[in-house]
Amino acid sequence: MGRLFGTDGVRGLANGDLTVELALGLSQAAARVLTTGRHADELRAQGRRPTAIVARDPRISGQFLTAAVSAGLASSGIDVLDAGVIPTPAAAFLVGDIHADFGVMISASHNPAPDNGIKFFSFGGTKLPDAVEDRIEAALAAEKLAPTGAGVGRIRRFADAEDRYLLHLLGTLDVSLAGLHVVIDCAHGAAAGISPQVFADAGARVTVIGSDPDGLNINEGVGSTHLGPLQAAVLEHGADLGIAHDGDADRCLAVDARGRVIDGDQIMAILAVSLQARGMLVDDTLVATVMSNLGLKRAMAEHGIRMIETGVGDRHVLEALAEHRLSLGGEQSGHIIFSDHATTGDGILTGLQLAAEMVRSGRTLAELADVMTVFPQVLINVRGVDRTALDGHGVIAAAVEAEEAALGDSGRVLLRASGTEPMVRVMVEAADQGTAEQVADRLADVVREQLAV
């Protein structure tokens, strides 16, 4: 079997791959691993128990998984604060806000309703390093903590969880959003109870879609992976912008008043230039992944902003932000991280800051997005190949080198092996769509031929 933890916690089909037994065991293992050290020893010396926050998105399987996780933690001597249905970034914020020992978020983000996942936040609300996740996985086979009597944990409702998070979000704004009409797509997910409220409290006029979660409709035809309904709603209501979240609200994509999609790269470009102009972009540097559009890199260079590129995944962005003590980073998919305000990607925070920049600058979202020219990008997933043979393959490397030479400064090529499937992703950017498609097709044929299994 491979590693249990993936790029964002443990994820799978609820009650299939992700069972009650696994959820219980993971929480017991996490209790052992995440409550060791001086802090936990001091608590126990004072006769106090460690505390964990448990939260979930609204998919129906989150109910029994929350029960299993809470039971595992309490049986291990951990006091549980059940925050109910809140966004992933809210859970991360609350861990730091109340100085909880760690947090557990039960969500499968943008995945369909039958899936679910469990991810952990350490003290301070940060994601766990791979090494700590490996220790939790190893602890599944270890003896469980099993206090008795007064040593077992208590499970209580975290009554003001939403209010704490909402006030935190409002506290990041330096302008009122009065005069803006915003359409918010909550993806029938965890944003439904908070995002419309915080935009309204900030002064905006709000129209809401995708805000009726029933446990089974999360991400279904709405949200950041299905932008058509948001585009239609913005045009129908004559709104100034649209904001789309995913199921757990750690992403934000946008739509301008003309119905044009503004992706994570464009949002990062807008916010990086804004922060730089206000002297708030640390070291005039932005962190993005290798999948970000070439147009982002060019726009940043034109404004004297340096870019640090990381591997794909917000985990890598977070690591680079922490290592270099920087203030802004993110992904094309809409995971945007403001290190001054959050320890993880926060879709509601991102939407607020984007709207605030419209007010601050007096410009439309379309005008702001013109800071970056988006290069046509083509992505081909070449399936059924030996992904492990990609690195160091001479014929493929030579083909890539030849295509890159032909593109020159007007494009780029990226080949990346999937981490979980027998697949290689071929990504090409060029000055025009036709060229990008032709180069991608040629390289995909080479990969197919050379890595056939």
DSSP 307-374: EEEE-SSHHHHHHHHHHHT-SEEE-TTS-EEETTT-SS--HHHHHHHHHHHHHHHT--HHHHHTTSPP
pLDDT in tens, 175-187: 999 999 999 999 9
> What is the separation of C-alpha 262 from the centre of its chain, rounded to a whole number of angstroms?
17
Instruction: Compute the Cα dihedral for 32, 37, 41, 44 and give only its sign.
Output: negative
Please, what is the angle between helix 161-170 and helix 347-361, to 10°? Answer: 30
Tell me which DSSP letter residue 142 carries: S
Q: What is the mean pLDDT of the chain?
A: 93
Predicted local distance difference test score (pLDDT) of residue 37: 63
Q: How confident is the model at residue 420 (pLDDT cuts 50, 70, 90)?
A: low
Share of the chain residues as helix, strand and coil, in percent rounded to the nearest 5: 40, 20, 40
> Does 388 or 84 have the greater pLDDT score?
84
pLDDT band at 396 (very low <50, low <70, confident <90, very high): very high
Angle at 413 between CA 412 and CA 416, to 5 degrees: 145
Burial of residue 229 (CB within 10 Å: 0-12, 13-18, 19+) is: middle
Residue pair 297/411 in contact by the 8 Å Cβ criterion: no
- Position 38 scores a pLDDT of 59
Q: DSSP for 262-325? A: E-HHHHHHHHHHHHHHTT-SGGGEEEEETTS-HHHHHHHHHTT-EEEEE-SSHHHHHHHHHHHT
* Amino acid residing at 447: V
Between CA 35 and CA 30 the distance in angstroms is 8
| Catalytic positions, written as ranges | 109
H helices present in 15-112, as ranges = 20-34, 38-45, 61-74, 88-97
Query: What's the pLDDT tens digit per position in 69-78?
Result: 999 999 999 9
pLDDT of residue 408: 87
- The Cα 440–Cα 376 span in angstroms is 12
Cβ neighbors of 313 (< 8 A, separation 6 or more) are: 7, 8, 289, 331
**What's residue 355's pLDDT?**
98
Cβ pair 235, 317 in contact under 8 A: no
Could you tell me whether strands 253-256 and 261-262 are parallel, antiparallel, or unpaired per DSSP bridges? antiparallel
List 338's β-bridge partners, or say none. Answer: 328
Q: How confident is the model at residue 392 (pLDDT cuts 50, 70, 90)?
A: confident
Closest CA to 80 of 2, 154, 160: 154
Answer whether residue 59 shows pLDDT above 60.
yes
The pLDDT, as a whole number, for residue 314 is 83
- Integer Rg of the chain from CA: 23
Residue in 273, 249, 426 with CA at minimum distance from that of residue 347: 249
Across 265-280, average pLDDT:
97
pLDDT at 405 > cutoff 60:
yes
CB contact at 8 A, 337 and 231: no
- Residue of 109, 167, 165 lying closest to 343 (CA atoms): 165
- What pLDDT, on the 0 to 100 scale, is given for residue 452? 87
- Cβ contact 327:274 at 8 Å: no
